[in-house]
Amino acid sequence: MPYRAEFRCFNGCEGSYAVTEPMYRCPKCDGLLQVVHDVEALADRSGPVWMKLFDERYRQNSWPYGSGVWGKREWVMPQVPDETIVSMYEGGTNLFWAERYGKQIGLDDLWVKLCGNSHSGSFKDLGMTVLVSVVRMAIQQGLKVKAIACASTGDTSASLAAYGAAAGLPVVVLLPYGKISTAQLVQPLAHGALVLGLDTDFDGCMAIVQRLAAEGIVYLANSMNPLRIEGQKTVAIEIVQQFDWQIPDWVILPSGNLGNASALYAGFKLLKDLGIIARYPRLVVAQAENANPLYRAWSAGKRTVDPIVARPTLASAIQIGNPVSAPRAVQALEAMNGIVEQASEQELCDAAARADRTGMYTCPHTAVGLAVLQKLVERGTIQRGERVVSVSTAAGLKFTEFKVRYHESEIEGVRADLANPPVKLKPDYGSVVDAIAKRFS
């Protein structure tokens, strides 16, 4: 393969490193790393040639191209050989026109990209297939670590445990005990990972796993590791592909650790560098009001993010106060003329319930995105005719407790105007007829 990708310092220090090196920070300035592709080499094929190749591979079954990630392998991680790839057919997720919900909030052209329709139920699979494949390659070349590890708010751990198990590699996950959904907790247990529940929050788990990685005890699978971002960036490429290689006007993304915001930008940037798109959509980063360090910084005109202690939020996967990828997200917002907005617990519950009434089944994080979208439409920032993509980050089915508590009107401090509890009846024909008549009079 004539293409290659390597690690370089995000802040621009000199030096490049093999992607199989177990390193997570620049050895010179201690800043973040990024994966840099040889764009000149990739430009040996024209835009139309790449588009045709990607369209031919899309959702086909010849290994490994059916995966939405590996179907674009030259742009993602060219040096991993076929037999080393650990893939479970990630990506290729549906992008659908949310006609009824869109019209209700004043939009004619709203689309939802359902990244949660994936192997472990969240977009995290897109990055994890790349990371675990590269780790397998590194181990084949002699890397020695006890396990692959991550701190998680529930979805990263589920994904890492699944891909680790698929490859037969040991996995350790550090979770904030009692702060993730039952489904999310069960996933790594079922896959045989060592699950460590710590009496802290995500940021506390992250600090410990970073130290384990720095001491060489584990290999770090958090999105601080830029390998994850390479896989996740295919969401941007896939959205453009699904619109017949046209860009939408806006992309809304619920964000916590801020890796995915920078991944979207990386995808759009490569499309632009290779001449497939001429400009960027505008990026909206949506945060929960209870975990809003980027919102606070951005709205104060600051370009560095001060850590906060995140308060509990129903959007538990984005309950993060010290986002590791903040500098990457700031770069993405600047390049994509971005906006950062927040949603309260009430607003996210309202948006989730309302969206579900139009046939979606929104996870609370996706609801943060939808609530923020509604604000921007009401404010006139986003116009009726513009094409908007709301990125849905996880499957609603992972958050049953959230749905049940809402419909039982049991979420403290939240008015459940759309609660729809089951109607319990005697097994009696007349009572059933009455109940139908009462609801649909």
Ligand X SMILES: *Cc1c(COP(=O)(O)O)cnc(C)c1O
CB of 316 to ligand X, least distance (A): 9
Give me the sheet containing 16-17, strands edge to edge. 16-17, 5-9, 33-37
Copy the structure tokens of residue 3: 């293409």
Say whether residue 77 binds ligand X (CB under 6 A).
no
Judged by CB under 6 A, the chain residues 141 through 180 that form the site for ligand X are 155
Judged by CB under 5 A, the chain residues 4 through 33 that form the site for Zn ion are 9, 11, 13, 26, 28-29, 31
Say whether residue 259 binds ligand X (CB under 6 A).
yes
Q: How far is CA 16 from CA 119, 216, 280, in A?
A: 33, 20, 28
Site map 382..401 versus ligand X, x via CB under 6 A: -----------xx-------
Helix (H) or strand (E) holding 404: helix 400-407
Check if the beta carbon of residue 199 is closer than 8 Å to that of residue 175: no
Copy the structure tokens of residue 37: 């592709």
Q: Give which of ligand X, Zn ion, none residue 393 binds (C-beta under 5 to 8 Å, depending on kind).
A: ligand X
Q: Give which of Zn ion, ligand X, none residue 356 binds (C-beta under 5 to 8 Å, depending on kind).
A: none
Q: What angle do CA 11, 17, 19 make, to 5 degrees?
A: 105
The alpha carbon dihedral of 396, 398, 402, 404 has a sign of positive
> Smaller CB distance to Zn ion: residue 210 or 381?
210
Say whether residue 381 binds Zn ion (CB under 5 A).
no
CB of 260 to Zn ion, least distance (A): 23
Out of 136, 233, 282, 365, name the contact with ligand X by CB under 6 A: 365
CB of 31 to Zn ion, least distance (A): 5
CB of 368 to Zn ion, least distance (A): 33
> Smaller CB distance to ligand X: residue 57 or 365?
365
Out of 181, 260, 342, 374, name the contact with ligand X by CB under 6 A: 260
Question: Three-state DSSP class for 114?
Answer: strand
Among the residue ranges 44-52, 136-144, 255-263, 426-434, the one whose residues contact ligand X (CB under 6 A): 255-263
Q: What's at 34, amino acid-wise?
A: Q
CB of 265 to ligand X, least distance (A): 12
Q: Give which of Zn ion, ligand X, none residue 255 binds (C-beta under 5 to 8 Å, depending on kind).
A: ligand X
Q: How far is CA 132 from CA 19, 176, 299, in A?
A: 12, 23, 37
Check if the beta carbon of residue 117 is closer than 8 Å to that of residue 395: yes
CB half-sphere exposure, 126, CA atoms < 13 A: 31
Give me the sheet containing 339-343, strands edge to edge. 95-97, 110-114, 388-392, 250-254, 282-288, 339-343
Q: Give which of Zn ion, ligand X, none residue 267 binds (C-beta under 5 to 8 Å, depending on kind).
A: none
> Smaller CB distance to ligand X: residue 212 or 363?
363
Query: How many helices (H) and strands (E) would you count in the chain?
Result: 17, 13
Residues in contact with Zn ion by CB under 5 A are 9, 11, 13, 26, 28-29, 31
Residues in contact with ligand X by CB under 6 A are 122, 124, 155, 223, 254-260, 317-318, 363, 365, 393-394
